[in-house]
Structure 1
Amino acid sequence: MIIRLETASDPRVSDYHSLTDVQLRKTREPAEGLYIAESPKVVRRALAAGHRPRSFFLAEKRLPEIADVLAAHPDIPAYVGTGAMLEEITGINLHRGAMAAMHRPAPVEIPTLLAEARRVAVLEDISDHTNIGAIFRSAAALGIDAVLISPRCGDPLYRRSIRVSMGAVFQVPWARLPEGPSGFQMLQEAGFTTAALALLPDSLTIHELAARNEEKLALILGSEGYGLSAETLAAANHSVMIPMYAGVDSLNVAAASAVAFFATDPRTSKSANAVSRE
């Protein structure tokens, strides 16, 4: 259903107002049960994951790019306007072609999420949405079965997280942990060995952890500025470090996640063992 906008103040496009106001969007989007998918590729991936659109939002010249998407959802409004009008509404240059306001999927119950998982990532208080998106992209690419996020962690369905992940946040199931130690209890009850990435004197190297080939493994990642909390480090079964060269002490958390996911991939371990036997 194509609706051509005549004014930027049209109340029907309120979902798209002030997309650059991070604090406003972080509060508003979860409360209203929506998120914004940006770019035709991301919109398509959200729809492929079974997420339901509330509306589409695009410049007139971009209509041919998603004509098939609009045809498949004839009852969903598609708001179309000039580039200048759309920029006035959103606060950004809509150069990626199209957006969609999507209904947030129902939360996944953590026991259900863990039941069939072998490797999970746990994100503690990571607030940078670029890092969150990059971690999810690595998680999807490197076989992580699920992601758990702390109560104060950023929103994987924030627009920037989705964009950086290239829609991988729709591929990897995730859930938000409750406050307190019950999250660790759930992991322990589900049979997971917990490994916190931290530079401690007694830390295992990532190679040593991989060699253990744990049946179920939870890799815990902390924020750039503060790292992991003392409570988390005390509760984890192991602390783990990635050995560095050239005097570099650590990697960005998104880069560290990719290294850890790859190193602990059972396929990687099998290949390394096969080479060593030769």
Structure 2
Amino acid sequence: MLDDPTDPRLAVFMGLRDHDLRRRREAPGGDMQGVFVAEGELVAGRALTAGYQALSAMVDGARDDPLPPGLPADVPVHRVGPAVVAAVTGYQTHRGALVAFARRRLPDPAEVLASARRVVVAEGVVNPTNMGVILRSAAALGVDALLLDPASCDPLYRRANRASMGLGFALPHARLRPLPDGLAPVRDAGFTVVALTPAPDAVDLHAWADAVDADARVAMVLGSEGPGLTEATEAAADVRARIPLAVGVDSLNVGVAAGIACYVLGRARFDGRAR
């Protein structure tokens, strides 16, 4: 049982409460470069199923069975007391386990676009919880890949993969150059670029999607929490589409909007229209 949160064997798990600190630690050049952390048995199990390599685990020492199911036998497992759990996570529980994983090489955008039909592009989505909701919606509703501009947050960050319930681990993702120029590989792959906006002069997303062939390549672009898409990116889109809202409501949370849009654009895959 480890009761000292400064034990070097637990160094990979420290800083999880501070998003900026963790981002710096996991960024290129940081001391945790190439590592991400999954919280809870379900999320960690989905990372294992998606093929990520587990490096070490920190589990609640009070557990009868300290091992998250499916964890390879050669992965170090550190049982810890409540003081360590609180020091690392900021509260007394961490859903039973934290598992550190090795990142994989980030693919080129062309790789993830090659076989995709529906993709989500994020511009300036910086809130990890919203990113997790986008990932969960995209994975559940027929989207094939996620593309992110340089400003969007890390989809493997602990709060993001927790909000996605680990479903995002199986969704390919890649980074683009700053938008709108960063949309070039999306256009080169034959995608229609659809900017999601609450602007009243935009077309109704539902009506537009109904007229699109189920096998058409569509890239839905989502903007940051608050300001939404930049004017340049919205102007560069092939289509500007909106989700109709009640009178007096100006916009939706980006995660909620993503869920609706993913359903509208992906539903053809569930109703037999896609070949």
TM-score, normalised by the number of residues in structure 2? 0.90
Match of 1:276 in 2: none
Q: TM-score, normalised by structure 1?
A: 0.90
Q: Pick the aligned partner of 1:25 from 8, 22, 30.
A: 22
How many residues align structurally?
267
Structure holding more helix per residue:
1
Per the alignment, residue 156 of structure 2 pairs with: 157
Residues of 2 paired with 1:80 and 1:269: CA distance?
A: 44
- Report if the CA contact (8 A) 1:19-1:92 is conserved: no
State the 4+ residue runs in structure 1 displaced beyond 6 angstroms. none
Q: Which has the larger radius of gyration?
A: 1
Distance in 2 between residues matched to 1:85 and 1:155, nearest whole Å: 26
Alignment RMSD: 2.0
Instruction: Indicate conservation of the 8 Å contact 2:123/2:179, yes or no.
Output: no
Counterparts of residues 136-155 of structure 1 (less than 5 Å): 136-155=135-154
Instruction: For residues 202-260 of structure 1, give each alpha carbon's deviation from its aligned partner in whole angstroms, at most 9, with x where no partner exists.
Output: 31101222122151101111012111011101110011011112432221111111111
Q: Distance in 2 between matches of 1:216 and 1:209?
A: 14
The alignment partner of 2:150 has SS state of coil
Shift in CA distance, 102/233, structure 1 to aligned 2, threshold 3 Å? same
List alignment gaps of at least 5 residues for structure 2: none
Offset, 1:150 = 0.8
| Aligned partner of residue 36 in structure 1, secondary structure | strand
Contact 1:263 1:269 in 2 (8 A): no
Which aligned pairs between 1:1-278 and structure 2 lie closer than 5 A? 4-31=1-28, 32-64=33-65, 66=67, 68-70=69-71, 73-179=72-178, 181-214=180-213, 215-267=216-268
Distance 1:76 1:190 in 2: 40
Gaps of 5+ in 1: 273-278
Q: Percent identity?
A: 40
Q: How far 1:112 moved relative to its partner?
A: 1.1
CA distance in 2, matches of 1:269, 1:161: 26
Q: Which residue of 2 aligns with 1:275?
A: none
Q: Is the 8 A contact 2:148 2:174 kept in 1?
A: yes
